[in-house]
């Protein structure tokens, strides 16, 4: 499912095509926020006469699990650094705090305005007219045409005939397909021979290029390890002239964020350009790993910021009591059991945890100040505290440098590196089925004596199983994703108690 920033990047390329003198035609069976945005960039936007119309705005939902945890005898203890740092509220509240509610309102206002403004400007109609159609809740294709949201209503046969008549001399390329990132199909021995014979021709290892490395999803030891390994290898590749880090992450472990920041800082020390392209979200730890880049690109609808720290543990004492489980502990050290899940924090322990988190927060802010420097618009602290911004607002505050997508970041990096014809390579490269059949276990060639070997938590697995058994099966499919994310966050918390992670906001658009 495409996110708003991805749609915005596609839309921008369509507008570029039109400005270059190309015609852009779009046909759809649906009229919703996504097709309305794409269609607003077209010369001609056509819907089928009975198209499904669902252009009624956006809404955001956050799920809260305190009641469920109470029934299970579980209690979440959360320590925040930053009033707007709302992660964890879903585990100890039944609704948002005042700060979280205010932040969500501002964020949704920004995203909604992006959609309305783009549709209005692209279709050359009044903004008020777009809002009027949205607030109607439901309308049909004829209403959309009358309002200027589309150009026409046609069946496919008529649309195809019109295209062929208009471009009678043109060759229609119907063979184009997106590349298969999973590699080619290998159905028989002839497919194997074909791949073996062509593999040498496909490699172009002697050309200078821009490396694109993606950090996607939650930041943890497991997710950071392959990303870091790819960059370590690139450090030794003389043909890798620039690096674009594609960040689409709500954040995660503070420690893992620092590990990834360190390797990008090592890249910068070589003098080669470093750019960041933000995807749908690059918040908290996602911003931490971005801050050191020479240039940060974000889409207007990107969710970023959330500069703050949160610490959390689940207290399972009551749940264990319900199950008839008792414990006996022995400790050496006054605070050795501070993070035990069988007891809550004492006042002194909470103060110690907060002190540790404040040190992490200080490092977080230092990374940003050192990376952004005078590009920040004013002092950092008023921009931090867990506040979340759209990409457009982040540009105004100096948290990002330019509104643009991955192709813009690659073009900038290539220019800075002096590469005439921008060539890019996605790393780690997707493996084909052939590699899976014949490759030997990869030897460690990066020369590092200390690597990353994450351990999988255990208690969280039991909690995850409990949530899935009691909740997921009874929920509609549209809601399971939110519950699944909550489970992932519980797992992340056990792996590392101090998290740089943004709020859990499920945007329905």
- Cβ-contact 12, 37 below 8 angstroms: no
Under the banding of pLDDT at 50, 70 and 90, the label for residue 320 is confident
pLDDT over 60 (residue 8):
yes
Mean pLDDT for 353-371 is 93
Label residues 261-299 b or e (16+ Cβ within 10 Å = b): bebbeebeeeebbbbbbbbbbbbbbbbbbbbbbbbbbbb
Q: Is the pLDDT of residue 188 over 80?
A: no
Alpha-helical regions (H) of 124-220 = 127-135, 141-146, 156-166, 189-202
**pLDDT-based confidence at residue 455 (cuts at 50, 70, 90):** very low
Contact of 278 with 291, CB cutoff 8 Å? no
What whole-number distance in Å separates Cα of residue 461 and Cα of residue 475?
20
**CA-to-CA distance for 404 and 296, rounded, in angstroms?**
9
pLDDT, tens digit (0-9, with 9 covering 90-100), for 237-252? 999 999 999 999 999 8
Average pLDDT of the residues in 255-279: 96
pLDDT of residue 400: 98
User: Would you call 172 helix, strand, or coil by DSSP?
Assistant: coil
Q: State the pLDDT at residue 47.
A: 97
Closest alpha carbon to 242 in 387, 2, 418: 418
For residue 449, CA distances in Å to 160, 220, 446, 453 come to 61, 21, 9, 12
What's the Cα-to-Cα distance from 193 to each of 4, 189, 203, rounded to whole Å? 42, 6, 17
Residue 329, pLDDT above cutoff 60: yes
pLDDT at 52 over 80: yes
- Selection from 503, 382, 509, 499 nearest residue 100 by Cα: 503
Token pair of 252 as six digits: 């995660």
Q: What pLDDT is recorded for position 493?
A: 60
Q: Compare 387 and 462 and report the one with higher pLDDT.
A: 387
Of residues 200 and 67, the one with the higher pLDDT is 67
pTM of the model: 0.83
Distance CA 99, CA 86 (A): 8
The 10s digit of each residue's pLDDT in 124-175 is: 999 999 999 999 988 999 999 999 999 999 999 999 999 999 999 888 887 7
- Of the pLDDT bands very low, low, confident and very high (cuts 50, 70, 90), residue 298 is very high
pLDDT band at 469 (very low <50, low <70, confident <90, very high): low
């Amino acid at each position: 499912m495409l996110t708003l920033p991805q749609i915005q990047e596609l839309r921008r390329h369509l507008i570029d095509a039109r400005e270059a003198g190309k015609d852009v035609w779009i046909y759809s069976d649906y009229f919703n926020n996504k097709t309305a945005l794409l269609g607003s960039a077209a010369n001609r936007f056509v819907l089928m006469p009975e198209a499904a119309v669902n252009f009624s705005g956006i809404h955001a939902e956050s799920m809260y699990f305190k009641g469920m945890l109470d029934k299970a005898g579980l209690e979440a203890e959360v320590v925040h650094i930053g009033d707007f740092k709302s992660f964890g509220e879903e585990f100890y509240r039944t609704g948002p705090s005042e700060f979280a509610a205010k932040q969500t309102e501002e964020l949704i206002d920004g995203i909604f305005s992006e959609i309305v403004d783009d549709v209005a400007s692209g279709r050359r109609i009044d903004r008020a007219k777009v809002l009027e159609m949205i607030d109607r809740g439901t309308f049909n294709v004829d209403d959309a045409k009358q309002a200027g949201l589309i150009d026409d209503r046609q069946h496919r046969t008529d649309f195809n005939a019109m295209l062929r008549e208009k471009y009678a001399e043109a060759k229609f390329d119907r063979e184009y397909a997106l590349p298969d990132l999973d590699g080619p199909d290998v159905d028989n021995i002839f497919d194997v021979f074909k791949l073996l014979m062509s593999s040498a021709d496909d490699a172009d290892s002697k050309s200078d290029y821009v490396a694109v490395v993606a950090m996607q999803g939650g930041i943890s030891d497991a997710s950071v390890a392959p990303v870091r390994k790819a960059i370590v290898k690139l450090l030794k590749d003389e043909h890798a002239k620039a690096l674009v880090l594609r960040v689409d992450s709500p954040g995660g472990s503070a420690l893992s964020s620092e590990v990834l920041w360190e390797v990008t800082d090592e890249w910068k020390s070589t003098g080669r350009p470093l750019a960041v392209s933000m995807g749908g979200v690059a918040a908290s730890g996602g911003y931490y790993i971005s801050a050191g880049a020479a240039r940060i690109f974000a889409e207007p609808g990107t969710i970023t910021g959330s500069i703050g720290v949160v610490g959390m543990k689940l207290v399972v004492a009551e749940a264990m009591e319900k199950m008839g489980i008792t414990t006996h502990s022995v400790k050496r050290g006054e605070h050795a059991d501070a993070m035990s899940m069988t007891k809550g924090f004492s006042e002194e322990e909470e103060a110690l945890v907060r002190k540790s988190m404040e040190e992490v927060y200080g490092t977080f802010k230092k990374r940003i100040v050192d990376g952004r420097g005078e590009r920040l618009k004013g002092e950092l602290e008023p921009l931090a505290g867990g506040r979340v911004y759209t990409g457009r607002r982040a540009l105004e505050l100096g948290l990002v440098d330019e509104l643009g997508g991955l192709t813009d970041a690659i073009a900038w990096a290539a220019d800075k590196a002096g590469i005439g014809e921008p060539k890019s390579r996605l790393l780690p490269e997707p493996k084909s089925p052939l590699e899976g059949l014949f490759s030997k276990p990869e030897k460690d060639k990066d020369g590092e004596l200390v690597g990353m070997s994450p351990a999988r938590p255990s208690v969280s697995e039991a909690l995850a199983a409990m949530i899935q058994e009691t909740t997921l099966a009874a929920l509609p499919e549209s809601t399971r994703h939110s519950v699944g994310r909550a489970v992932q966050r519980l797992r992340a918390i056990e792996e590392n108690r101090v998290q740089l992670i943004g709020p859990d906001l499920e945007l329905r658009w």
